[in-house]
Structure 1
Amino acid sequence: MKAAAYLALAAHIALGGFVPAQTQQSSSPSESHDKSASDRDRLIGGWHLVALRTQGADGKLNLAAGLTGKLIYTRDGHMSVQIMYPESDATLTNDYVLNGYEASFGSFDINEQAHTVTHHVEGSITRGLVGKRLTRAYRFSARRLTIRSTNPNEHWSVIWQHD
C-alpha cells in the first residue's frame, strides 16, 4: 500500500502537479526592474555588489576595489547583507566592518514616498549595530540599486545589481 502511495505521489510530481512555493512567489529578474512594480517588489531578491564609493575629506569620490558582496531582501520582510573586503583590507574595522568583513541581518520596511528603506538590525558581525534602525536612501536604475546612508556624517554609496 505504501509503495502505491509513493508511486502515485511520484507520478503526480513528475506530471507537473506539484509546484514548489518558491516558484509561486517568483521574484524574476524582469520584476526587479519593472517600473510598474512597487519599489518594495523591485527590492525583493538577491543583489550582488557592483561598487562601493566613499567620499574623502577632500570631497573626491573613492571607489573601493576588490570587494565582493551580496544583499538579499525577502517578501516576508527580512534582509541580509554581506561584504568581503580584499586581503589587503583584512584588518579594516569600523562601525560596520570587522577584520575586512561586513555582515548583518534583520527585518526591513520601506517608505516609497521618501525613497528610503530602514534596516532593523537583529544580528551583525559588529555587535554595536544590533538593535539599530539604519535608514538608507535608495534609487533604482534599470537592474541596479544604489543605496546610501541618510546619516549626514556618513559619505558612502553602494551599487548593487539584481541577480
Structure 2
Amino acid sequence: VPGGVGFTSTAEGPYSHRVVSGGDETFHVIALELLTPPPAEAALPAPRSGTAFELVMENYRGRAYRIILAPGESTGSFTRPAGTALFAVSAGRISEIPDGKPSRLWDFETADFQWFDTSETLSIKNEGPLPIELIEIEIPAGDPSSAAAVVGAWGLVSMDRHFEDGRVEPHMGEDPAGRLVYDEAGRMMVYLAGRDRAQFASSVRSAATPQELKSAFDTQISYFGTYSLDEQAGTVTHHVESAWYPNWTGAQQVRFFELEGDRLRLSTPPILVDGIETRVYLTWERLQ
C-alpha cells in the first residue's frame, strides 16, 4: 500500500530479510534504522491534534503521521519535535512556515526525505497543483542524562557477591579484571576474568585437560550484544547476541544501575545459589 508504515523490533537480536517487488512499477522502500537505545516512555511528546494529521503508527520508539494536503491547503500550526523524519509519498512542492523565521520551499520527488534535528513550531502548505501525501515520523531522543553518560569504556574496580545472610565475598577472586563498553549506536560488550587464572600445562590449546578447561570456563564471563536503558526502573538490559555461556545467547541480562560521576555501579537481580539468595555488585570506573 503506498505510504504504508511498519515497525519491526530487533530487541531480541538482528535478522535478515528480503524485499521483492511483485508489480510492474517501481516500488520504493525506505528503511529507517534506529541505532540508539530507546528513551523512557515519558520522553514521547503529546500527540498532534488537527484533521491534517492521521496517526498511523505509535509504539515505544515513536509515532508516525500521514499528511494529505490538497492544493493550497495548510496543516495549521503544530510543533515538530527534534528527531523527526519527513518522507514524500507523492511528488510535489510544499512550503514550511516556521514561527518567527523565513518560510522555506521543498520540491519533492517520490521517496524524497528530510531529517530535522531541532524542534520548531511551523505549518506546512501544499504549493503545487496536485494533492501531496507526506509521512512524518517522530523519534524522540529522551532525556540524555543517563543514556549518554553510560556511553564509553569502563574498567572494573570491584566485583562482590552479597548474600542474604549479610556475607560479602569477592567474586572471581581478589581484584578481578574487566572491561565494559557501551557505544552510541546501542551496542555493548563485557569481559570479566579472575587475575589468578591458572595457565594450561601445554601451550597447545587442544591438549588441555577437562579440569583445565573447566577452570578456564568458570573464571571468566564474556558476551556482547545491544543494550537498552529504562531510567524510570533504573535498569539496563543487555540483549545478548553471543556469550561464553551458550545458554545466554539470545537471552536478556538485566542489571540495576547507579551512575555517579565517573563511577558506574551495576547489580544483578536476586539469584539463588545453593538455595541462598545472592546478588552480584560490580563497580566500574570510566577509562580516560
What TM-score do you get using the length of structure 2 for normalisation?
Answer: 0.40
1 CA distance for matches of 2:268 and 2:155? 18
Q: How many residues align?
A: 126
1:83 maps to 2:207: no
Tell me the distance in 1 between the aligned counterparts of 2:271 and 2:220: 24
Q: Partner amino acid for 1:128?
A: N
Query: Does the residue aligned with 2:149 lie in a helix, a strand or coil?
Result: helix
Q: Does 1:114 align with 2:238?
A: no
- Cα–Cα, structure 1 residues 134 and 38, in superposed 2: closer, same or farther, change >3 Å? same
Tell me, yes or no, if structure 1 residue 157 matches structure 2 residue 281. yes
Gap change, CA 1:102 and 1:93, over 3 Å in 2? farther
Alignment partner, residue 124 of structure 1: 243
CA distance in 1 between counterparts of 2:214 and 2:259 reads 29
Measured after TM superposition, the shift of residue 92 of structure 1 is 9.5
Task: State the Cα distance separating 1:37 from its structure 2 match.
Answer: 5.0
Question: Using the alignment, how far apart are the partners of 2:260 and 2:214 within structure 1?
Answer: 31
- Structure 1: runs of 5 or more not aligned: 1-35
C-alpha spacing 1:99/1:44, structure 2 compared with 1 (3 Å): same
RMSD over equivalenced CA pairs, Å:
2.5
Q: Structure 2 regions of 5+ residues with no counterpart?
A: 1-142, 200-211, 273-277
The higher-RCO structure (CA 8 Å, 6+ apart) is 1
More helix by share: 1
| Structure 2 CA distance for partners of 1:134 and 1:151, relative to 1, 3 Å | farther
Q: Note if 1:62 corresponds to 2:186.
A: no
> Which letter maps to 1:157?
Y
Deviation at residue 84 of structure 1 after TM alignment: 1.5
Q: Secondary structure of the residue that 1:38 maps to in structure 2?
A: helix
Percentage identity across paired residues of the two chains = 25
Aligned residue for 1:86, secondary structure, equals coil
CA distance in 2, matches of 1:108, 1:160: 17
Q: Look up the SS of the partner of 1:59 in the other structure.
A: coil
- Alignment partner of 1:39 is 2:139: no
Matches within 5 A, 1:127-142: 127-142=246-261
The structural deviation recorded for 1:57 is: 6.3
Shift of 1:52: 0.2
CA radius of gyration, larger in = 2
- Write the distance in 2 (CA, Å) between the matches of 1:147 and 1:125: 20
What TM-score results when the alignment is normalised by the length of structure 1? 0.68
In the alignment, the residues of structure 1 paired with residue 265 and residue 214 of structure 2 have an alpha-carbon distance, to the nearest angstrom, of 23
**Which residue is 2:223 aligned to?**
104
